[in-house]
Each structure stands twice: as structure tokens, then as C-alpha cells.
Amino acid sequence: MSFDTLGLAPALLRALADQGYATPTPIQSAAIPVALSGRDMLAGAQTGTGKTAAFALPLLQRLFVENATAPANGKRKVRALILTPTRELAAQVHDSLRAYAKHVKMFSATIFGGVSMGPQVDALRRGVDVLVATPGRLIDHMERRTVDLSGIEILVLDEADRMLDMGFLPAIKRILAVLPKQRQTLLFSATFADEIKKIAAQFMRDPAEVQVAARNSVVATITHRVHPVEAARKRELLLHLLAQDSRRQTLVFSRTKHGANKLADFLEKYGLKTAAIHGNKSQGARTKALKEFKDGKVTVLVATDIAARGLDIDQLPIVVNFDLPMVAEDYVHRIGRTGRAGAEGLAISLVAQEEARLLRDIRRMLKQDITIENVAGFEPARPLNLENPGPAPGRPAKPRNSNHSRRPHANGPKKPHAVANKQKRQWRGGKPASFKA
């Protein structure tokens, strides 16, 4: 299938060709025609499936191709609002939106915390058509009356499940309360918890449902591998693995900010160009670390879950879990950083016996076997026991909801996008879409 069959306007097809996209991803094939029809839509799609284009393209077409309007009294009104859980995702969605809007006339801005209000207020005053925002900062603007949402025609809730996990439900409800009732609402979520269904029932009109992959399934092109190791020898093992190809860009996840710092210092000491990115780092430091990683100046990026959410790094071949995440679903989000857009990916986890319970939970959730493979010289004294795993380390296994430390503290990265890679990119991953209208 090609993009031409989806009913997209030539200006958008040209932008896709500029990006080097040859084939629509399953979520794009399923969602674009529905969204173009103007219907509300609940779309189930995990990170890395091409979901941004799945809502951005129809949004651009409906507002700026089919209903391009001149701004009244010379002042633009915000016509579309895209809400995302994190600053990184907001910045990334914005970058993608602008790339897809390359050949249409559209003014857009991002609104997120951690940076000063001034430039955002200025942009809003000058007038924008599309806003990409995180809920908290948007509420700040609503309270100061620096944003007018009365002209919204399309609302997109991106990664809605994440927004709920991060405690944004009250904020979302406040925002929804001021939006015009006559609008199209597109909700994207990796999972459809009851809360999401409730929002849909309350704030959407007879939404079509589009689903492309089973709940919590992960991209098929990713290989999962576990290396059992004593906790005290993890650093050494990581160094050993990284040393096998020191030029290969690797994203390493650490459970704690302190752990991320210590690990980055250790790797740096052994000559690997390393940076750490987590919530205690300043906005500037985070943006710089990410840029250097994307530019290839830094080969190892050590990140905590929050800092890494929403990062899109083209063709990242390896993700290493130095610690397993406390919540099994975070594993999916972590490894969603590799194997994107059909590329092959490898997810390596260094697992000590103390984490056996977490590994068992992850295996259950993935419904997929993970290869457990000793690395010669690093075998633990006793083999990993998943049958009798013992308690999970530290905290209880379900520290979800109302956990404010999960809120991000970062500015968004610049997405390198496909610009560097002009050759045609063929979508290979993912399952065929099913579609229920």
C-alpha cells in the first residue's frame, strides 16, 4: 500500500516523500481515513508505530488544505490542540508536525513547563493555528488568560494512558471543559484502561476504534536478551558489552538519578563518551546531552525512565536495561526507543537475582520468551531463579498513579528525523491493522 490511496492531499504527500516515507505504517493506514472523515477516533498504538503522522496528517489536511481560513481581523485563532504527557514528546510531535506541514501554511507553537512563559506568551499573542502542549503548562496559560481555546476544531490526546499515569486527569478535564463541544477528538493510547474508556464515553462522540497491536505487545523486530549477573558486577559487565563496539550508540536505563550519574562517571572514566539525562539535570544540560548523543559525539546515554520517555532517536540499535524497571509496562516504553519504524533492535537487560520478580512480570506481560544468556566470566554464583524470585527490590511492584516524581523535568530534544536519510524507508514492523467502525 502507498500513501496515495489514503486520500491525502498532494501537499502532504510531497512532505512524506521529503521525509523518505514510502509505505504507511499499519496505524497510519487504519487511522488516516477515519480521521479524515471527521469522526472521533480511539486509536490504540504504542510508541514508535508512526502514530504522530497518523493524527498530524489528517489534522493538517482538514484544517489547512480543505478548510484553510484567513485569520479573522488578521489574528489567528488556535484551531487544533495536541496534548502530550511530556515535554520531550511535545517537542518531538511539534517537530514532526512541522515536517509534515512543510508545504502547507500553518503556524504552530509548543507550550510546556521548565522554560520561561515569556516566549510562549509572545507566540500566543502573535497567533498560532496549532498548539502542542503538556497539560500543566497549558493550565497555567489558561489561568493567566494568555491562551484562547474557544476556536479549537480538533483535539488530539496523545499517549493518553501516560497522561493518566502521570496524574494529569484533573488537568485534562479542566482543559476539556473549556473546549468547544463541536470538535473532532482523536485519542491515542498504547493501552485502553477503564479510565480511558470513561474519558472517551464522556468527552467523545461515537468514536471509531482503530487498533493495530495487542495491548502491551512490543515491536516484532526487537530481540530481547537477558544477561544474568551479580548486582555488584553489573558495571563491569556493561563496560565489557559496550567495549565490543565502542562506536555503537547505546541508550542505557538506570532506575535512579543517582545511579545514572554514578554509572555515567564510571563509563566516562573508562574512556566511553557518556552523558546522563535525568530529572535533576538542568534543562540546558539535558538538551545538550541529547543533542550530543543524536549527533554521535556521545556514544552512551544513561537515562532514567522519566527523562527518556518520548525520545525518538532514529535507528537506535541497542537499549540496555542496567536495572529493570519497577513497573513491567515501563519495559515496553524503554525498549520502544529501539526497533523504531521497522528497524531491527536489541534490548539487553542485566538482571541480578534481586530483580527476578521484575523479570518474571515483564515476561508475563510480553507473553513472549526472552533469551537468558550468561556472558562468559560474568556468570552469577547461582542461576537466575524465576520460579522462586523472592520479593521485588526496594519498592512495591505497583508504584503507579499519583506519583509526582514521575513527572518529567526536561525540555524537548530536536528530532533528527529522516532528513539525514533521504532514501525510501519501508515500513516492515507491526501487525496488520484491524479496524472497527
Q: Is the Cβ of residue 23 or residue 374 nearer to ligand AMP in the bound state?
A: 23
350 neighbors 320 (Cβ within 8 angstroms): yes
Residue of the chain from 8, 12, 15, 25 that contacts ligand AMP (CB under 6 A) = 25
**CA proximity to 215, closest of 366, 105, 421:** 366
Say whether residue 341 binds ligand AMP (CB under 6 A): yes
Taking the complex as a whole, the smallest distance from the CB of residue 8 to ligand AMP amounts, in Å, to 12
Beta bridge partners of 41: 186, 208
Residues in the chain: 437
Residue of the chain from 354, 360, 425, 435 that contacts ligand AMP (CB under 6 A) = 425
Say whether residue 90 binds ligand AMP (CB under 6 A): no
Taking the complex as a whole, the smallest distance from the CB of residue 317 to ligand AMP amounts, in Å, to 14
**CA proximity to 355, closest of 379, 386, 398, 320:** 386
Say whether residue 312 binds ligand AMP (CB under 6 A): yes
Q: Taking contact as CB under 6 A, which single stretch among the options 6-14, 49-57, 176-184, 272-280 is the one that binds ligand AMP?
A: 49-57
Say whether residue 340 binds ligand AMP (CB under 6 A): yes
Residue of the chain from 53, 175, 300, 327 that contacts ligand AMP (CB under 6 A) = 53
Question: How many of the chain's residues bind ligand AMP (CB under 6 A)?
Answer: 20
CB atoms within 10 A of CB 395: 10
Say whether residue 103 binds ligand AMP (CB under 6 A): no
Taking the complex as a whole, the smallest distance from the CB of residue 19 to ligand AMP amounts, in Å, to 7
Taking the complex as a whole, the smallest distance from the CB of residue 3 to ligand AMP amounts, in Å, to 8
The phi and psi torsions of 338 (rounded to 5 degrees) equal: -120, 170
Taking the complex as a whole, the smallest distance from the CB of residue 343 to ligand AMP amounts, in Å, to 9
Residue of the chain from 26, 30, 49, 430 that contacts ligand AMP (CB under 6 A) = 49
Say whether residue 427 binds ligand AMP (CB under 6 A): yes
Taking the complex as a whole, the smallest distance from the CB of residue 141 to ligand AMP amounts, in Å, to 25
Taking the complex as a whole, the smallest distance from the CB of residue 92 to ligand AMP amounts, in Å, to 7
Q: Taking contact as CB under 6 A, which single stretch among the options 7-15, 17-25, 32-40, 245-253 is the one that binds ligand AMP?
A: 17-25
Cell reading at 270: 573508562
Q: Is the Cβ of residue 87 or residue 340 nearer to ligand AMP in the bound state?
A: 340
Chain centroid to CA 306: how far? 11
Say whether residue 50 binds ligand AMP (CB under 6 A): yes
Q: How far apart are CA 38 and CA 174, in angstroms?
A: 24
Task: Return the residue matching grid coordinates 509526582.
Answer: 404
Element at 131 (helix H, strand E): strand 130-133
319 neighbors 338 (Cβ within 8 angstroms): yes
Cell reading at 425: 524507508
Residue of the chain from 24, 26, 413, 430 that contacts ligand AMP (CB under 6 A) = 24
Chain centroid to CA 363: how far? 22
DSSP string of 6-50, one letter each residue? GT--HHHHHHHHHHTB-S--HHHHHHHHHHHTT--EEEE--TTSS
Q: Is the Cβ of residue 93 or residue 303 nearer to ligand AMP in the bound state?
A: 93
Say whether residue 29 binds ligand AMP (CB under 6 A): no
Taking the complex as a whole, the smallest distance from the CB of residue 330 to ligand AMP amounts, in Å, to 17
**CA proximity to 352, closest of 222, 218, 238:** 238
348 neighbors 225 (Cβ within 8 angstroms): yes
DSSP string of 41-55, one letter each residue? EEEE--TTSSHHHHH
Residues that bind ligand AMP (CB under 6 A): 21, 23-25, 28, 47-53, 312, 314, 340-341, 417-418, 425, 427
